Amino acid sequence: MDIMSGMKRTGYCGELSLEDIGKEVVLMGWVQKSRDLGSIVFVDMRDREGVCQIVFDETINQNLFVKSQELGSEYVIAVKGIVRERASKNPNIKTGDIEVYASELRILNKSETPPIYIKDDDAVSENLRMKYRYLDLRKPKMQNNFILRHKVTQIVRNYLSDNGFIEIETPILGKPTPEGARDYLVPSRVNKGSFYGLPQSPQLFKQLLMVSGMDKYFQIAKCFRDEDLRADRQPEFTQIDCEMSFVEINDVLDIMENMISKILSETLDVNISLPIPRMTYKEAMDRFGSDKPDTRFGFELVDITADAKTCGFGVFESAANEECKSVRGINLKGYEASFTRKGITALEDVAKTYGAKGLAWIKITEEGVTSPISKFFTQENLETIINKLEGEKGDLLLFVADRDKVVFDALGHVRIDAAKKLDILDENKYNLLYVTEFPQFEYDEEENRYVAMHHPFTSPMDEDLELLDTNPSKVRAKAYDMVLNGVELGGGSIRIYNSDVQEKMFNLLGFSKEEAWDKFGFLLEAFKYGTPPHGGIAFGLDRLVMLLAKQDSIREVIAFPKNQNAICPLTNAPGKTDKKSLDELSIAIIEKN
């Protein structure tokens, strides 16, 4: 007889409430905790939806009571019983008003003492958690993270589907990309010496789907990148990938902000007002020193370059008078007293991390201006600068003078760091923002050439097309990012859809015509046969769910993540293979001496 025979589950532990009083229920789940009080055994029984209390009473059923005494932690059980109101309620759990008076108990499986506790706040090492991931995932927090992730993908799929998008799967076994360093490679057995590349994104395929008239495509797609796993990256990650034909920038932004709004409202009951603000890249840098500004707080950058040209302070003056350099400051309004000298030094360290040589500061205290640099200024110049930053009693002003890039980076990060230290980041605030008009190119100092800031398929803005030939660094792209509280949720662009423009782009990026055709010939060829204008966007699903779940790492929302050495501590992947398999692939391992 099957161990499940005759026991039909009626619902989940975590769903029972006062409304179920008097009902006979059948529950299946795990023993969270068991307390033997001599003539009565209380068991906290857990399933995906929560915990409820089961009572085994010696005076009612002697055999059942004795059997319940056997139960250990994480035993798997089926219980039949009647729901009744608890004498002493427990307001700390959802089902604290009720308990189930057991009339039948079936032990479905036993458990050895688990190596980690099944509770949210168990402080064990990350590695142990990942080795016993199947136990770690039993924690209520983890179960909720995956229920949330599922909800988000369902909302996305239904929303896009309702809006005419078709989900189409693109290949995982693709072609290695030209700058292959970041591709995972898969040796082909049938085509010896050749390799598939795992996709870093479905970019080319989704553009081809637009060429093929699929009109609106999406995919929740696995992507792969073989890079060093600093900063909470994973070798495989998931994108919400979209592409639309016959659109301009605002069409994409409109449909995607509605999607995010729906996700926030249906998962967190957070309602945002639409449209979400649009801000150009230039404005984002000027005001926040970042292309993904956190707009939940102020401390905006102020440009004092003009005033610094003859201010008397050599460091400011020399920066203010050089091209591509500037002097900017932020005002930590009202927080003068929150930063000691030591505190300011800590902020300066942040600035230095991003290349600044120092962080100049002016405190405006009850007693007046305190500052190591004030002595270099005339009183008038000092006042001009303070006024420019709207400095008042109680404020702390911070300055960096350097190359623009360094100034933005340093002050942008000091701004965030200060806000974190002041604990003024409201985690219940959801400040969404579109950043637009990104530069088309970045100049790569090492390679001494332009590289695409988004990717080589991004269309320049029409009004900047002529600058392609004269001043590429000034060309703005039809590219956009969606930003939430200072984190990039996703980005995309309107694409080039014309063979000639695409070839010109490759040329500007340093590909010869031959190289371009060798590497992207199929796309350039496709563009000849009636390619519609198109554009799209991709969101990082892992990061989005992490933010919604208020978690610190994407590993909390990936069921079986790899560790920082790209190893799965549970299965020990990657693993060894045998020589026969390698021979079939015509490859060999090169041992290092």
Q: Is 225 annotated as contributing to ligand binding?
A: yes
Helices marked H in 11-97: 62-69
Residue 454 assigned to a binding site: yes
Tell me the C-alpha distance between 121 and 388, whole Å. 48
CB-CB neighbours of 21 under 10 Å: 13
CB 457 → a second copy: shortest distance, Å? 15
Q: Which is nearer to a second copy, 272 or 567 (by Cβ)?
A: 567
191 near a second copy, rule: CB under 8 A: yes
Binding of a second copy by 457 (CB under 8 A): no
* Preceding peptide of 277 cis, ω within 30°: no
Q: How far is the CB of 523 from a second copy (least distance, A)?
A: 9
Of 37, 231, 324, 590, the one binding a second copy (CB under 8 A) is 590
- For tokens 């001494």, name the residue: 448
State how beta strands 195-197 and 185-187 pair: antiparallel
Q: At what angle do helices 499-508 and 513-526 cross, to 10 degrees?
A: 150
Q: Would you count residue 551 as binding a second copy (CB under 8 A)?
A: no
Binding region for a second copy (CB under 8 A) out of 299-307, 347-355, 404-412, 531-539: 531-539
Question: For a second copy, which stretch binds (CB under 8 A), given 3-11, 37-45, 357-365, 507-515?
Answer: 3-11
Q: Which of these, 452, 444, 461, lies nearest to 507 by C-alpha position?
A: 452
Q: 66 to 105, contacts with a second copy by CB under 8 A?
A: 74-76, 78
Q: Do 156 and 148 form a contact (C-beta atoms < 8 A)?
A: no
Residues 557 and 145: beta-carbon distance below 8 Å: yes
* 475 DSSP assignment: P
What does the DSSP 8-state code read for residue 450?
A: E
425 touching a second copy, by CB under 8 A = no
- DSSP notation for 19-72: GGTT-EEEEEEEEEEEEE-SSEEEEEEEETTEEEEEEEETTT-HHHHHHHHT--
CA of residue 446 relative to chain centroid, distance: 29
Instruction: Give, in order, the Cα–Cα distances in Å from 232 to each of 24, 161, 409, 567, 570.
Output: 47, 31, 21, 14, 19
Q: Mark the segment that binds a second copy (CB under 8 A) among 346-354, 387-395, 503-511, 530-538.
A: 530-538
> Does the footprint of a second copy cover residue 128 (CB under 8 A)?
no
Give the one residue of 90, 143, 280, 384 binding a second copy; rule: CB under 8 A.
Answer: 143
Report the site for a second copy in 98-127 (rule: CB under 8 A): 108-112, 114
Which three-class secondary structure state does DSSP give residue 344? helix
Which region, judged by CB under 8 A, interacts with a second copy, from 93-101, 202-210, 280-288, 378-386? 202-210
Q: Token pair of 251, please?
A: 């069409």
Binding of residue 476 to a second copy (CB under 8 A): no
Contact status: 512 vs a second copy (CB under 8 A):
no
Kindly state whether residue 4 participates in binding a second copy, applying the rule CB under 8 A. yes
Applying CB under 8 A, among 67, 149, 476, 543 the residue interacting with a second copy is 149
Find out whether 341 is annotated in a ligand binding site. no
Rule CB under 8 A: is residue 474 a binding residue for a second copy? no
Of 34, 95, 170, 440, the one binding a second copy (CB under 8 A) is 170
Query: Which window, 299-307, 415-423, 428-436, 580-588, contacts a second copy (CB under 8 A)?
Result: 580-588
